[in-house]
Amino acid sequence: MSTQKIKICGVNDLSILQEIVDLEIDYVGFIFFEKSPRNVNSNFLELINDFNFKNTQPVCVYVNPDEEFVYSTSSYLHNPILQFHGNEDSSFCESFGLEYWKAIRVKTRKDFDELMNYESASAILMENHKDGFYGGTGESFDWEMLKDFDTDKYNLILSGGINSKNVDNALTTNSWCIDINSGVESEVGKKDINLINNIVEKINNHDF
């Protein structure tokens, strides 16, 4: 069994959520961003208000939210992690008194300088930079840039277009956590449990 952390993001279906929890996946992400096809609505929040996450920790994903929206949505979940994908500064991210992750959009190695602005983050998520897009593009950045990345100093979450075909390459980056979203969908916004099972099996069987 692998010790590699796994997060399945963009979940908005109760049956898929139950399968993820039963698989004992480390993290499950809920996207609170209206422009996303995976946006979570209030009806779904009501459904999971008393949901038993067991050993899977919920992650609330935001893009430039206002304070009230973060409080009102995250309150449905017990001890969630907050994940910020916009231009939020560290003081905003810290203000909720919860563990937070910060996403950095990567185009060149210079984008890594952003890490210094979020030293209080418990993890840094790196995703592909695409002009005009926030919260994931479904595409990978050049993972070769991570060759000299200090994985001892930062908990790195690798994100962007990870699927069963490229997950072995993703794992060679020595990332603390692999964030999987569109790579386990049968169509945009629709998670497929067979694809989830397949990629989890590949990760668990990877020769680290």
SS3 state of residue 18: helix
> Residue for token digits 């017990």?
78
Count CB atoms within 10 A of the CB of residue 61. 28
**Measured distance CA(179)–CA(135) in Å, rounded:** 12
User: Residue 1 — pLDDT band, cuts 50, 70, 90?
Assistant: very low
Give the Å distances, CA to CA, from 167 to 5, 15, 83, 164.
Answer: 13, 25, 22, 5
SS3 state of residue 78: coil
SS3 state of residue 36: coil
Q: How many domains does the chain have?
A: 1
**Measured distance CA(114)–CA(3) in Å, rounded:** 28
> Residue 141 pLDDT more than 90?
no
Residue 106 per-residue DSSP state: E
What the block records as the tokens of 169 is 């390459």
Residue 75 per-residue DSSP state: T
Give pLDDT tens digits for 44-92. 999 999 999 999 999 999 999 999 999 999 999 999 999 999 999 999 9
Residue 47 per-residue DSSP state: H
H/E stretch holding 43: helix 42-47
Q: Are 150 and 172 in contact (CB under 8 A)?
A: no
What the block records as the tokens of 130 is 């695409």
Give pLDDT tens digits for 146-158. 887 777 788 999 9
CATH number of the domain at 56, please: 3.20.20.70
Phi first, then psi, for residue 103 (nearest 5°) are -90, 135
> Residue 134 pLDDT more than 80?
no
The angle that helices 14-22 and 193-204 make with each other, rounded to 10 degrees, is: 20
- Among 85-99, 128-142, 145-159, the range scoring the smallest mean pLDDT is 128-142
Q: Which residues form the domain of 78?
A: 5-204
E strands, 163-206, in order: 177-180, 185-187, 190-191
